Structure 1
Amino acid sequence: METIIVIVFVLGYLAITLEHNLKIDKLIPALAMMALLWAIIALAHMPVFEVNTELRELEPSHIDEILLHHLGKTAEILFFLLGAMTIVEIIDYFDGFATIKGFIKTKSKRKLLWLFSILAFILSAIIDNLTATIVLITILQKVIKERETRLWFAGIIIVAANAGGAWSPIGDVTTTMLWIANKVSALQLIEHVLIPSIVCMVVPVLVASRFKVFQGQIDGSLEEEVVKSKYGSTMLYLGLGAIVFVPLFKTVTHLPPYVGMMLSLAVVATFAEIFSKSKFNITTLDGGEGEAAGHHSPVHHSLSKIELPSILFFLGILLAVAALESLGILFHAAGSLNEAIPNTDIVVMLFGIGSAVIDNVPLVAASMGMFSENMDNPLWHFIAYSAGTGGSMLIIGSAAGVVAMGMEKIDFFWYLKNIAWLALIGFVAGAGVFILMRDFVLNV
């Protein structure tokens, strides 16, 4: 039966990978795969196990107990993401991200390249790489009119955003997964991965800044951003501060991160409700102002805008991987992999390259079931770096790349020819710095 389990998983995985070719949203195969795997386990009465990380062995369990265990762990991630997404949408409701355009004062293409790269790196560490890419490409479309030039900027933004998300526990879904699962702590993750991530971003930008496309100045004048809400800047800084507060809350209280995120959401939502009261009058409640009439509360409006398909995809893929973990397949696969490739650095770098081809979420979920190293072992930090930055090598290899592809209609082969090699040298340079720091500087 294990063979059937593996076949179902591989077929589901292929359907997720070939999402664009099949024209089927990846949440569909993810949910179907998850349900089928657990159904096969239940109907075949297959024995399930829980990995004992201290003893590094499998302990027998009951299917109801282990399914509830994995559902609880998955729910922690999902509610954390729901909270973060809602805060970001509340900021957008007040047009808070328009404040960022105010930082752009130069017309020099090279300076703009560095400015957008640094903004992508910092923003992605706070609001995640996907949202940071959406925000910056929206701004990019207002600043640079020439499409060919804009494509190059968008490609570098993808690389910088993925690098920025790798070192922060709230910057990428994969690092969030490792953080919530107590594989890494926020401070140790930053200490080990920040500098390699900076290198991963700086090297490609340094090389690209010498290209002809980034010489000279942009055409036209910089347009002044029309402020839609006087509370935009306030909500931007409040929202970003609330998200950054979450790791601090976890450190102090030792409660799961989603608890802190719910507190942050409650605070941001309270201010949103207060600030929005002056924006609505009796005509709005009577249905006189279109879309706003259906969402007289900014919180209700923001909740209706969050990406539920992504949430369902994570539910499906995480519980599908949990099925393989519960059968002990991932545990035994790790042993076989270590025998075939004794050097774990090579294995983790292959994970990074693999994340460019297939989704990094199931890769990291699988690695969490394969390895039983203790919290803050350098292996987990290297996995966070590789999975977070490796996806930049193909435009379909990360959520940031996929959304940029849609917003700017970037051709797969154009990205492969022009940006992929820059992402590769950044990935390798950052990985080299990580290994040097681990072995000679941090001495772990």
Structure 2
Amino acid sequence: MINNVILFLVVISFVMIIIEDVIHINKAKTTLFFGTLCWILAFIFPIHNNSAAETSHQLNENLLEIATLWLFLMSAMTFVAYLNSKGFISALVQRVLPTSISERGLMFVIAIFAFVFSSFADNVTATLVSITVVMNLQLEVKKRLKYATLIIFAVNSGGVSLITGDVTTLMIFLEDKVTISNLLLLVIPSFLGVLTLATLLSLKLKGQVTLAKTRIKIEKSDIIIALIFVSTISGTLLANVIFQIPPVLTFLFGLSIMFLVANILPNRNKNHDVLNYVREVEFDALLFFLGVLLLVGILKEIGVLNGFTEMYQHFPPIAVNYVVGFMSSIIDNVPLTAALLKSGVDMKVTEWLMLTYATGVGGSILVIGSAAGIIAMSKVKELNFISYLRNALYLIIAYTVGYIGVYFAANWALA
């Protein structure tokens, strides 16, 4: 009986995630409410007649996974929040982009910029910065929609190869399904998918655009913080590969260096309150992850996730993973990935890499399938479900090219 009640509550929660824009209730609120409620019910009405100690042990295991994810994301988001607030990111973009460029050339510049930037920053920041560049140009509606479509796909593609770029990649890595060196194999196939989409979208572009530039001063202190951020990312990757140091530990160490260095930099009066930038972290996103992982954790305990295992037993993992990419454009990729990880699916490293790509990039197929798509819709008024769907064939082709590329790259490198 209690299993059915919990399953019913979880279904309601996931439905409310999907219709968030209709009911206007933040998904962080609903997932946190239902996630905690389900675990409270598990204590009051024990699952499988578990003792309170057994239920507490199960909860503690879930909370440990959540805490690791939380602390890592909080550290990375604090760095980005600081640099964004200081105008460093906007100033950097101004210097990278040329003054005048063809529309077709701009398509590839935007693709490369969004792809690279999203590997280090969160998807929301990468999308906002890239969309702002496009919105400042005097473009026709159809052309603006093409650039927005490319940005969504490029941002999602750029994050899959680094644990700092995509939450689902981080989740799969933390479960020891892939290593950092394995994930680097996704870079070229993901980029190939982005270039494929940029090529398809630029076929009919022939005009020239001029980018208006406002000179934004970059403070030396901000450059130092940016270097600490980059060093933290590279140090995290190297420390894990060489010494197997958990990324959350090295990222927190890098954050502590940022806090200490900010106090001795020039313009100390502007930097002594650097701790305050923790408050600018998007805690609604972190609370959403908390709620989702609590929900998926309870689904595992009541045995619902066994269905995923059966799916992989009846069909080749390569085919199932490809379809999972399409599923992630409808169902949020965080609970989808969490469910797959909790289900105990047994796959080879190559197949886990293909799943990583599918869940990270597949959400781009529909505009509602990723945070990047939702952010882009809020900034580009002409962008909606239907207008984005017009490029669905191009998106599917690009996604498929990247997916096939992952298959060949992983099999060649891991053979």
- Normalising by structure 2, report the TM-score: 0.91
Alignment partner, residue 95 of structure 2? 102
Task: Give yes or no for the alignment of 1:266 onto 2:256.
Answer: yes
Alignment partner, residue 316 of structure 1? 291
Cα–Cα, structure 1 residues 229 and 438, in superposed 2: closer, same or farther, change >3 Å?
Answer: closer
Task: Give yes or no for the alignment of 1:434 onto 2:409.
Answer: no
Alignment partner, residue 43 of structure 1? 44
Gaps of 5+ in 2: none
Alignment partner, residue 383 of structure 1? 355
Alignment partner, residue 284 of structure 1? none
The correspondence for 2:207, drawn from 189, 205, 216, is 216
Alignment partner, residue 66 of structure 1? 58
Alignment partner, residue 229 of structure 2? 239
The farther-off stretch of 411-420 and 301-310 is 411-420
Q: SS of the counterpart of 1:107?
A: strand
* C-alpha distance in 2 between matches for 1:377 and 1:226: 45
- The one-letter code of the counterpart of 1:272 is A
Task: Give yes or no for the alignment of 1:75 onto 2:67.
Answer: yes
Aligned pairs (5 A) from 1:109-148: 109-142=103-136, 144-146=137-139, 148=141
* C-alpha distance in 2 between matches for 1:268 and 1:354: 39
The farther-off stretch of 308-317 and 256-265 is 256-265
Alignment partner, residue 52 of structure 1? none
The correspondence for 1:335, drawn from 309, 321, 324, is 309
Alignment partner, residue 53 of structure 1? none
**Post-superposition, which runs of at least 4 consecutive aligned residues in structure 1 deviate over 6 A?**
none
* C-alpha distance in 1 between matches for 2:262 and 2:130: 23
Residue 221 of structure 1 and its aligned partner are, at CA, apart by: 5.2
Cα–Cα, structure 1 residues 333 and 236, in superposed 2: closer, same or farther, change >3 Å?
Answer: same
Cα–Cα, structure 1 residues 113 and 208, in superposed 2: closer, same or farther, change >3 Å?
Answer: same
Deviations 1:324-347, CA, capped at 9 Å, x for gaps: 1123321x21333235x4222221
**C-alpha RMSD of the superposition:** 2.3
Contact 1:34 1:316 in 2 (8 A): yes
* C-alpha distance in 1 between matches for 2:262 and 2:22: 41
Alignment partner, residue 151 of structure 2? 157
Task: Give yes or no for the alignment of 1:351 onto 2:324.
Answer: yes
Report the identity percentage. 27
The correspondence for 2:388, drawn from 416, 428, 444, is 416
Task: Give yes or no for the alignment of 1:305 onto 2:280.
Answer: yes
Q: SS of the counterpart of 1:396?
A: helix
* C-alpha distance in 1 between matches for 2:384 and 2:85: 32
Q: SS of the counterpart of 2:199?
A: helix
Deviations 1:32-56, CA, capped at 9 Å, x for gaps: 221222123222211389xxxxxxx
Contact 2:228 2:254 in 1 (8 A): no
Residue 4 of structure 1 and its aligned partner are, at CA, apart by: 2.2
Contact 1:89 1:302 in 2 (8 A): yes
- Count residues in correspondence: 410
Cα–Cα, structure 1 residues 279 and 217, in superposed 2: closer, same or farther, change >3 Å?
Answer: farther
* C-alpha distance in 1 between matches for 2:366 and 2:338: 21
Task: Give yes or no for the alignment of 1:175 onto 2:175.
Answer: no
The farther-off stretch of 78-87 and 406-415 is 406-415
- The one-letter code of the counterpart of 1:215 is K
Contact 1:90 1:272 in 2 (8 A): no
* C-alpha distance in 2 between matches for 1:81 and 1:221: 34
Contact 1:27 1:313 in 2 (8 A): yes
Cα–Cα, structure 1 residues 345 and 180, in superposed 2: closer, same or farther, change >3 Å?
Answer: same
Alignment partner, residue 6 of structure 2? 5
Residue 410 of structure 1 and its aligned partner are, at CA, apart by: 4.4
Q: SS of the counterpart of 1:225?
A: coil
Q: SS of the counterpart of 1:274?
A: coil
The correspondence for 1:204, drawn from 197, 206, 220, is 197
* C-alpha distance in 2 between matches for 1:276 and 1:104: 29
Alignment partner, residue 20 of structure 1? 21
Q: SS of the counterpart of 2:367?
A: coil
Contact 2:312 2:345 in 1 (8 A): no
* C-alpha distance in 1 between matches for 2:71 and 2:134: 31
Alignment partner, residue 372 of structure 2? 400
The correspondence for 1:326, drawn from 282, 291, 301, is 301
Residue 126 of structure 1 and its aligned partner are, at CA, apart by: 1.6
Cα–Cα, structure 1 residues 414 and 170, in superposed 2: closer, same or farther, change >3 Å?
Answer: same
* C-alpha distance in 1 between matches for 2:148 and 2:269: 35
Deviations 1:114-134, CA, capped at 9 Å, x for gaps: 111101111111223332112
